[in-house]
């Protein structure tokens, strides 16, 4: 925990500052409707974790201010402000104190609207910063509960990099699939010209018994892929999930993307089910991998799907890096903190203001 004060108005003698961070992801490997332990159908997903970028938050707690006196910089971050109000009440109750107001400052460079968990990252970083100002560390389950209350649904970014089937509208884990996803190298790209997607405008996904059976089969396949560390089976699952998602997202580039995957020897494709970020998955043991990835990057570029980043599913590997036609698959490794709240962003550029306000078009490092 830290007592470093953010830039801005000077803190008073009783004011306390806390900080927090949160990572992002690169969309989903699997998303759909699944059965929980009571055989009830519920929406759930498995995210594709990514080492960077991230959201950072600093919360200047002012004990003399009322509990609703919370300001946010940049303005318009309504979900983060809601998370701050909830977290203050949670932490104040744990400390047996009266809730108070404060100032929340957010920064980071997660592209917004691409399906990389930008709003959840804001919310998690905010909750961690508020807790830090109370000198508390909240359990991941508590953070998930507050995140769902703040934004209606959340990604499992507070739970670490292990693959989880996570009910995003309930903030709970349906199944821990294992310790790590199978090894894969991901060549990222942006669909739809990189335009943001309004997740709330998408129709709700439904599933009859036949669809439930399909999703449960993919769940079993992913469980096997994780157990066997099988990147080929991982690619089959993610491609099948992305194809099912086409009924909602209707990406015109989908068939072209899968054709590029076939031509370059990728094991499959993955697409954010609430955005325009996508990736092609490669088995790191594939002969001529560097050459295949260069061909992939050129093909994506020529077909208007801007290559963005390359990274691996290995959580201990280096951060996502800007992709060029000279892409390699051996980035310099960096250590990762045991506490996921202390990650650091790795993509350049400033994040535009607020998931709840109009922004400029999001940018990822491009070819």
- Domain locations in the chain? 16-342
Pairing of strands 101-108, 41-62: antiparallel
CATH domain 16-342 topology: Ribosomal Protein S5; domain 2 (3.30.230)
Distance CA 254, CA 189 (A): 12
Q: How confident is the model at residue 331 (pLDDT cuts 50, 70, 90)?
A: very low
When computed from its CA atoms, the radius of gyration of the chain, rounded to whole angstroms, is: 20
pLDDT tens column, 253-263: 999 999 999 99
Is pTM, for the whole model, over 0.85?
Answer: no
The residue with tokens 């109009």 is 358
Structure tokens at 189: 């790209």
Q: Which residue, 177, 67, 47, is CA-closest to 120?
A: 47
pLDDT tens column, 223-235: 999 999 999 999 9
pLDDT tens column, 44-90: 999 998 887 689 999 999 999 999 999 999 998 999 999 999 999 99
The residue with tokens 């790209």 is 189
Structure tokens at 209: 């018994």
Q: Give yes or no for residue 3 having a pLDDT over 90.
A: no
Distance CA 199, CA 38 (A): 28
Q: How confident is the model at residue 175 (pLDDT cuts 50, 70, 90)?
A: very high
Q: Which residue, 208, 128, 177, is CA-closest to 30?
A: 177
Residue 117 pLDDT: 86
Distance CA 275, CA 255 (A): 17
Measure the N-to-C terminal CA separation of the chain; round to a whole number of Å: 38
Beta strands in 275-356 (DSSP E): 277-282, 307-312, 321-322
Pairing of strands 70-73, 101-108: parallel
Residue 320 pLDDT: 67
**Other beta carbons within 10 Å of 96:** 6
Distance CA 96, CA 78 (A): 27
């Amino acid at each position: 925990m830290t007592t470093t004060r953010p830039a801005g108005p000077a803190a008073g003698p009783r004011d306390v500052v806390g900080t927090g961070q949160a990572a992002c992801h690169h969309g989903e490997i699997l998303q759909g409707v699944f059965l929980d332990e009571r055989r009830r159908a519920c929406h759930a997903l498995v995210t594709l974790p990514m080492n960077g970028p991230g959201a950072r938050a600093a919360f200047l707690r002012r004990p003399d201010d009322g509990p609703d006196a919370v300001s946010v910089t940049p303005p318009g971050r309504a979900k983060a402000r809601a998370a701050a109000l909830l977290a203050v009440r949670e932490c104040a109750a744990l400390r047996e104190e009266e809730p108070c107001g404060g100032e929340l400052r957010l920064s980071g460079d997660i592209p917004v609207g691409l399906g990389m968990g930008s709003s959840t990252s804001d919310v998690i970083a905010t909750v961690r910063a508020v807790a830090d100002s109370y000198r508390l560390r909240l359990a991941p389950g508590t953070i998930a509960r507050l995140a769902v209350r703040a934004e209606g649904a959340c990604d499992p970014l507070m739970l670490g990099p292990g693959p989880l089937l996570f009910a995003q509208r309930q903030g709970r884990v349906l199944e821990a699939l294992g310790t790590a996803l199978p090894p894969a190298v991901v060549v990222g790209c942006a669909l739809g010209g990189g335009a943001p997607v309004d997740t709330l405008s998408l129709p709700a996904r439904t599933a009859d018994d036949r669809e439930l059976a399909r999703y449960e089969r993919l769940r079993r396949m992913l469980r096997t892929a994780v157990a066997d560390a099988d990147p080929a089976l991982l690619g089959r699952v993610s491609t099948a999930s992305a194809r099912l998602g086409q009924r909602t997202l209707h990406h015109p580039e989908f068939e072209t993307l899968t054709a590029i995957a076939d031509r370059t020897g990728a094991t499959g494709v993955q697409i954010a089910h609430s955005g325009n970020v996508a990736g092609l998955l490669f088995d790191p043991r594939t002969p001529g991998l560097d050459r295949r990835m260069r061909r992939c990057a050129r093909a994506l570029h020529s077909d208007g799907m801007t290559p963005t980043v390359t990274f691996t599913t290995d959580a201990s590997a280096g951060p996502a890096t800007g992709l060029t036609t000279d892409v390699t698959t051996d980035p310099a490794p960096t250590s990762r903190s045991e506490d996921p709240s202390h990650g650091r962003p790795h993509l350049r550029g400033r994040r535009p203001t607020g998931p709840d306000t109009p922004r400029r078009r999001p940018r990822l490092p491009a070819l």
